[in-house]
Amino acid sequence: MRWVTYLGLVLRRLWARRWMLLGSFLGATLVIALLAVLPLYEASVSAIDLLYTFRNAPDSTVDLSAALTLTEYSGEQADAGRRAVADASTAVQTWYPTVEERTVSREFVMIPLGYPDWLETARLWRESGALGEAPWPTIPREPTQTRIFTALDIGAGLELVAGELPAFEDPARAAEPILRVVLGEQLAKLTQLGVGDRVVLKAFTSQPSWFEIVEVAGIARPADPDAIMWDGVDPTVLAFVGPETFDAWAGTFTADPDADPWLRQERGFRYLTATRTFTLHLDREAVTLEEVNDLQQGVLYFTRAVARAEGIRTISKLPALIEEFGVRSVVFGAPILAMLALVVAGALYFLIYMAALALERESSELALLRMRGASTWQTIGIHTTQSAVIALAAALAAPFVARGMVALSGRIPPMSTLTGGEALSVSQARSVVPFVLGGGLLTFIAMGLAIVPLARRGVLELRAMASRPARQSVWQRYYLDLFLVVLAGVVLYELRRQGLVATSGEDVGLDPFSVAAPALFLVSGALLLLRVLPLLLRAIGWVMTRFRGMAAALPGWHLGRNPIPYGRLALLVWLTTGFGAFALTYADTLDTSYFDRAAYQSGSDVRLVAEGAGFLGVPEGAVGTPVYRTLGAARLTSRTGQLLAVRPTDFPQVIYWRGDFGDLSLLGSEGLGDPADWGVELPEGTTALEVAALQEPRTWYAVVSGDTVQVARLLLRVVDEQGRLRIYVADEALDDQAWRTVTFDLSGTAARNGPFPDDGGDLVLQALWVERDPTGTGPAAPETAVYIEDIRAVGAAGATSVLDGVQSEFEGREGLTTATAQGDAAVNRYFSELPPGTPAPSAEEMQAHPLWRGTDLLQLSVPGRTRAEAVPHLARPPEPLPFVLDAEAAGVSGLGVGDRTLFGVDGEQVDGWVAGLVNLVPTATDPRLEGALLTRLDGLMQWIEGTPKWSISGTLARVTQPQELWLRTDDPNGAARRLVAALEAEPDDLLTIAGVSADFSSRPIQVGLVSILFIGTGAGVVLTLAGVTAYVLMAVRRRFREMGVLRALGLRRRSVAATFAVEQMVVLGVGAVIGIGAGLALMRLMLPFLQLGEGGADLLPPALMQLDWVRLAIYLGVVALVLVAAVLWSTRNVSARQLSEVLREVER
């Protein structure tokens, strides 16, 4: 009964102190709710992330498939597998409603009937004696491979081009059993088989005697090439039969030996290896957030259940997907939990703060109770019962608040972008129970513990507490703050050692100790600063007393006299502003990091990857640059890196670059140099080139003897202003018996590697090749020479000779030598060997001969060569190339700036030197490659394109085109659309920074992280508002006497209020400023531990701390506004009271 009375007393106390205790209740509710939010939010965000992962993953990843491979296929065994899969699939039937089934055999050899004996054919051809007349024995139709495919609904999956899909016919009962199959369209083309044709099929895996002659019943193509049925196979090269047919022929059956050319009694494909695959296709629409975890469990069950069935193995990337999701959950869950821990720490501090304020308020009552005979335990009992009631009420309310908070987070940006503005579905509600219980206990202890030291105090001490300000805090008195700092130091050491996420082997785990690190750093730092605060306030107080006005001087005296009591208020404010500054900076850093990562992947606003993309016209308003991407190795090592060949004139303007990547100017002319002016510039408006040339003539004697000549043809290599390489072939071959002017039509469409648009601008002649005419067959080309009289550029303005330019610019390559020959060189050669009996011609006769020229000639001595040797040509020798290496490439190659070495690029050895080093190069994201190298596009083209390797059989030379176009533009989407439209084909890749960034930042778990930062910041502001209001109200009450004295001394009401407000403002201002400093310092401290990407790998590029001063100023403004409002509202008591009322208070 007495307990009931006690409880009544406690309830009356609660009611009497309801407004003060409301703060404790709110604080307790918030602490418990935030603790409950830990699992709820994390689970909900993880669930939505998992859902997002499921919905965005390709079919091949989310589909489940089970494969039964039978080395001696039998329909019964395959059907047993079907039953096992059907049983296992009941667990996932909700999400995987249908089972797709197909059976594919191992490879069969298709041997044409009448397959010839090649050697015999060749022998007959050789022995026929008419080699020149009899046709060379062409290669007969080759044996090829195929696999037999069947599925339950094979008929629906095929679109017949010819013939039919044969109905099942039991071979055991047929008089002349023959397997009739449908061939894939491509297979039919390859084998040149048509409907009705027959071919031998023999399985690779079977004995030699198990083969069958099959008949082509039809030719088909897939009705839907993207259907799941064809996953992993090419349906155009398969042979199809119905499922019953497959089962019947995949075993053996007894047949009439007379119906078989080999007189076999047993027929069929014995020992056939075949795989029956069961594919369960995910119905993505059926996956709901609430069921994601069930789905996960169901998939695990399916995998295990199927694994128990004999011979079946599951082929699914789903476990890997779930594992990847798990890693991501840990990597991103760690900061989320750390943020929540930070918020919980702040809220817990608020709770302790409010409990302490409430106790201070109650101290006179405690004194009264003590005086009336209350024992220590009774005092403790009353207070702890009160704390228990509050904690209990808070624990009851908290789960709903937590659910509400989590649900609400789905309605506010940025999470609303994922949920479509719907409330976030809250999952795993049961898991909150231990958190709520723990939170309730924590809040009970936090509130209840404060009474212990008070309960033992004497009546007079308790009375003094009510009227005198607090002394040094417990933290400082017992050096707990220093202990916390030491503890924070240990945690920091631990973090440095292993990072925020602990990785052991392949497992990624969360170290709960490290999750508390940010909270520990912030709180310990704040407590440490608390020691400095009195000195700071004393100094500020001293400065304020220098002012004349009472509104400054009085607070100054007060601050200077006893600054210790302000510590608690300052601590509350700086924990809030500290968290706010940290959260804002973290959010900005994350935002920028998403952008940076996207930009690093994309390289520029728009990056188009497609064949010939580098030469696409740049959309209006954009700056574009072509990039050639390939592999390259410094020092010709096997340590291959990513090589980018770029145009230094505009590449630096287009590439996304960050200061810490290195010196951007190295990627421009300063590092890579200006594009070399190599080649002979053709006059503006040149439409054609004419070359007057002659192949070294046969002698007169050789001509009359019937000797033939391997004629030569000239080719040109020309580039336009865009850097597009064009290869032109002369309109006709050179003659050796007459000077001939061959013409090169320089319109883009005439280019042999074209067509090119004619908007290339001025052209530059870069090489002139002497190619042997392919009609002249033979194993090698003998040496010869070519005389060139003139090379003229023809345009609207007439013809201009460019021969001098060619002579001065070019030198012979690949054994070709140049010399100046006299005009009679060809004539002399012709007459150097005369037919027997022919008199030597006179000088006049020689001059009159058509081969004679009156001017000096350019003589090209073309060496003899094999097919394997490069084509001799005239060109400028390539110069050593400047390379810029990133830190990794420099590290693996051991090269430094200025080092000269050979670089391996696309199979060529390129002489180059290191022009500069940078730290990182955007787009070099392939982890398999070691570092990145940059060089000049035009220079590299000169090295790797300049050498024609093979021209006789058609291939002229490597025509390497920059396959990427990088754009800087204000309208990335518009530019991307225009580029794709111009491309007329699907690009290999199209990246925009905005697109990739959206992909990064829309990951639910990342959005969740940003959301929690905003939630924490908002909660901090609310708590500060409540805390400051409570504190100021208490302070006003405590110092009412002092205010009365001031009023009695003649100060006006507003002046007294202003005095008081200024005092609080100074403390709050100091707290806010220190808090922001502490928040930024915390961010700086934590940044190295937040450099983890999705897969747990280091972020590339590393995240840099970002500070948006405007946002920070807005936040500070909001906090200041809230604090000013709280102070003014709380001090309104002072200004509202009449003097008489105040004086009466003073008298008390």
Partner 1 sequence: METPLVRCDNVIKIHKQGALEAVALQGIDLEVRRGEFVVIVGRSGSGKSSLLHVLGGMEKPSAGRVVVAGTDLTSPLGTDIRYHFRRNVGFVWQEFTRNLVPYLKAVQNIELPMLLAGVGRERRRRRALALLEVTGLRNRAYSRVNVLSGGEQQRLALCVALSLGPRLLLADEPTGELDTERSLQVYELLRRLCTEGGLTVVAVTHDVALARRADRVFHLQDGKFRLDRRVRAKRVVEIGPDGGVTLPPELLAEAMMTDRANAQVVEEGILLFRDAGGA
H-only helix segments in 271-373:
292-308, 318-371
Residue ranges in 978-997 that form contacts with partner 1 under rule CB under 8 A:
none
Q: Considering only residues 229 through 258, tell me which ones interact with partner 1, judged by CB under 8 A.
A: none
Give, as ranges, the residues between 44 and 63 that touch partner 1 (CB under 8 A): none
Measured from the CB of residue 2, what is the shortest distance to partner 1 in angstroms?
Answer: 7
Site for partner 1 in 860-889 (CB under 8 A): none
Q: Which stretch binds partner 1 (CB under 8 A): 219-227, 363-371, 859-867, 906-914?
A: 363-371
Q: How far is the CB of 363 from partner 1 (least distance, A)?
A: 12
- In sequence order, the 6+-apart residues with CB closer than 8 A to the CB of 990 are 606, 607, 608, 609, 976, 979, 980
Contact with partner 1 (CB under 8 A) among 13, 147, 726, 1137: 13
Give dist(CA 518, CA 609) in Å, integer: 43
* Cβ-contact 761, 720 below 8 angstroms: yes
287 three-state secondary structure: coil
Per DSSP bridges, beta strands 179-184 and 148-151 are: unpaired
Cα torsion for 77, 78, 83, 88, to the nearest 10°? 110
Query: Does 2 participate in binding partner 1 (rule CB under 8 A)?
Result: yes
Task: Name beta bridge partners: 905.
Answer: 632, 908
CB of 362 to partner 1, least distance (A): 11
Cβ at position 352, least distance to partner 1 in Å = 25
Task: Give the footprint of partner 1 on residues 456-485 (CB under 8 A).
Answer: 458-460, 463
User: Is there a contact between 629 and 963 (Cβ–Cβ < 8 Å)?
Assistant: yes
5 counts as binding partner 1 under rule CB under 8 A: yes
Closest among 1066, 1063, 1027, 1058 to 1132, alpha carbons compared: 1058
Which is nearer to partner 1, 7 or 162 (by Cβ)?
7
Among 173, 308, 372, 548, binds partner 1 (CB under 8 A): 372
Q: Does residue 296 bind partner 1 (CB under 8 A)?
A: no
Counting residues that bind partner 1 (by CB under 8 A) gives: 26
SS3 content of the chain, % helix, strand, coil (to 5): 50, 20, 30
CB of 697 within 8 A of CB of 830? yes
- Measuring CA to CA, which residue among 851, 858, 764, 763 is closest to residue 804? 858
- Smallest gap, in angstroms, from Cβ of residue 31 to partner 1? 27
Please give the Cα distance from 841 to 838 (Å, whole number).
9
Whether a cis peptide bond, with omega within 30° of 0, leads into 1101 is: yes
Q: Taking the CA atoms of 529, 534, 536 and 540 in sequence, report the sign of the dihedral they define.
A: positive
For residues 197 and 461, which CB has a smaller minimum distance to partner 1 in the complex?
461
Cα separation, 431 vs 39, in Å, equals 7
Measure CA 889 to chain center: 21
Q: Is 1040 in the site for partner 1 (CB under 8 A)?
A: no
Of 393 and 459, which has the nearer Cβ to partner 1? Answer: 459
Q: With binding defined as CB under 8 A, does residue 897 bind partner 1? A: no
Mapping DSSP to helix (H, G, I), strand (E, B) and coil, where does residue 993 land?
helix
- Interacting span for partner 1 (CB under 8 A) from 374-382, 953-961, 992-1000, 1097-1105: 374-382
Rounded Cα gap, residues 858 and 856, in angstroms = 7
Cis, peptide link before residue 755, omega less than 30° from 0: yes
Q: Which of 102, 180, 370, 792 binds partner 1 (CB under 8 A)?
A: 370
Instruction: Please list the residues that pair with 819 across neighbouring strands.
Output: 859
Q: Which residues, at least 6 apart from 20, have a Cβ–Cβ distance to it below 8 Å?
A: 354, 357, 358, 361, 1030
Segment interacting with partner 1 (CB under 8 A) among 240-248, 364-372, 515-523, 688-696? 364-372
Q: According to the binding rule CB under 8 A, does residue 3 interact with partner 1?
A: no
**Binding characters for partner 1, 376-395, by CB under 8 A (x = yes):** --x-----------------
Phi-psi region of 283 (alpha: psi -120 to 50; beta: other; left: phi over 0): beta
Question: Which CB atom, from 5 or from 808, has the smaller least distance to partner 1?
Answer: 5
Residue 19 binds partner 1 (CB under 8 A): no
- Interacting stretch for partner 1, rule CB under 8 A, among 3-11, 139-147, 467-475, 1032-1040? 3-11
461 versus 899: smaller Cβ distance to partner 1 = 461
Region near partner 1 per CB under 8 A, out of 133-141, 326-334, 373-381, 1117-1125: 373-381
Contact segment (CB under 8 A) with partner 1 among 12-20, 403-411, 1016-1024, 1123-1131 equals 12-20
User: Is 653 one of the binding residues for partner 1 (CB under 8 A)?
Assistant: no
CB of 580 within 8 A of CB of 1107?
A: no
Which tokens belong to 661? Answer: 């990547």
If you search the block for the tokens 């590439």, which residue do you land on? 655
Distance CA 713, CA 718 (A): 16
Q: Rank residues 465 and 552 by Cβ distance to partner 1 and give the closer one.
A: 465
Paired strand residues for 280: 64, 99
Q: Give CA–CA dist 36/398, Å, rounded.
A: 8
- CA-to-CA distance for 199 and 205, rounded, in angstroms? 18
Q: CB of 537: closest distance to partner 1 in angstroms?
A: 20
Residues 440-459 that bind partner 1 (CB under 8 A): 458-459
Which member of 237, 369, 455, 554 binds partner 1 (CB under 8 A)? 369
Please say which residue, 14 or 1043, places its beta carbon nearer to partner 1. 14
Check binding of 493 to partner 1 (CB under 8 A): no
Contacts of 644 (CB under 8 A, 6+ apart): 627, 628, 629, 921, 923, 924, 932, 933, 934, 935
**Least distance in angstroms from the C-beta of 21 to partner 1:** 12
CB of 375 to partner 1, least distance (A): 5
Tell me whether residue 459 or residue 1034 sits nearer to partner 1 (CB atom): 459
**Tokens standing for 146?**
């195929």
Calpha distance 804→792 (Å, rounded): 10
* Contact with partner 1 (CB under 8 A) among 244, 324, 365, 869: 365
Applying CB under 8 A, among 74, 77, 364, 699 the residue interacting with partner 1 is 364
Stretch binding partner 1 (CB under 8 A), from 122-130, 372-380, 806-814, 1046-1054: 372-380
Asked if 22 is part of the footprint of partner 1 (rule: CB under 8 A), the reply reads no
Q: How far is the CB of 460 from partner 1 (least distance, A)?
A: 5
Piece of the chain touching partner 1 by CB under 8 A; list 86-94, 368-376, 426-434, 515-523? 368-376
Q: Binding partner 1 by CB under 8 A: which of 122, 172, 174, 371?
A: 371
699 is a contact residue toward partner 1 (CB under 8 A): no
Least CB distance from residue 389 to partner 1, whole Å? 15
Tell me: does residue 9 bind partner 1 (CB under 8 A).
yes
Q: Give least dist CB 541 to partner 1, A.
A: 20
Query: Distance from first CA to last CA of the chain, Å, rounded?
Result: 38
Rg (CA), the chain: 44
The answer to whether 743 and 817 are in contact (CB under 8 A) is no
Which tokens belong to 1068? 């709050």
Binding to partner 1 by residue 368, rule CB under 8 A? yes
CB of 419 to partner 1, least distance (A): 47
Instruction: Record the tokens describing residue 197, joined without a space.
Output: 């044709």
Q: Is 373 in the site for partner 1 (CB under 8 A)?
A: yes
CB count, 10 Å around CB of 654? 25
Name residue 1137's amino acid.
R
Cα–Cα distance between 81 and 68 in angstroms, integer?
Answer: 7
CB of 390 to partner 1, least distance (A): 17
Provide, rounded to whole angstroms, the least separation between the CB of residue 1129 and partner 1. Answer: 24
**Residue number, 61 or 364, with CB nearest to partner 1:** 364
Q: Point out which residues bind partner 1 (CB under 8 A).
A: 1-2, 5-6, 9, 12-13, 15-16, 364-365, 367-375, 378, 458-460, 463, 1148
